[in-house]
Structure 1
């Protein structure tokens, strides 16, 4: 599938570097929890660290950790202590 962006996006995306549209689409799918971090990094054409770094740069957040995971970890720590 090839996507044709409206020309108005050019002014916004151009200063953000090459493949900015690809990165932001992958990041949006990751933030919407439609794809994994690894899949998003791959779709963005970046390795794990580069993708995390760009997420931090543009969203002030790298990995998304589900609340359920945090609660499970807290429960595990309580059980172990």
Structure 2
């Protein structure tokens, strides 16, 4: 799926780096507890540490622990 957005977002997203729209969509879904950290990192096209770093840069914290995502995240970390 190719993400399309209104052209007015271009000026806002461009300085935020490569695949900024995908990152912010994945981060929003993660913060809304709709997807796990591991899934959000994957959707953003980043590895675990890269996604955590980018979350910290943009939101002041790298991750939060939600009951629904703990098992999936634990399994993902175990695979590293």
- Report the TM-score range of the alignment, normalised by the length of the smaller protein: 0.7 to 0.9
Mark the runs of 5 or more structure 1 residues left unpaired by the alignment: 68-81
Higher relative contact order (CA 8 A, sep 6+): 2
1:8 CA displacement: 0.7
TM-score (norm 1): 0.77
Number of residue pairs matched by the alignment: 67
Return structure 1 stretches of 4+ with deviation > 6 angstroms: none
Q: Is the 8 A contact 2:33 2:66 kept in 1?
A: no
1:66 CA displacement: 4.2
**Secondary structure, aligned partner of 2:65:** coil
Q: Is the 8 A contact 2:3 2:22 kept in 1?
A: no
1:3 CA displacement: 3.5
Matched, 1:5 2:5: yes
Superposed CA RMSD: 1.4
Bigger Rg, structure 1 or 2: 1
1:63 CA displacement: 1.1
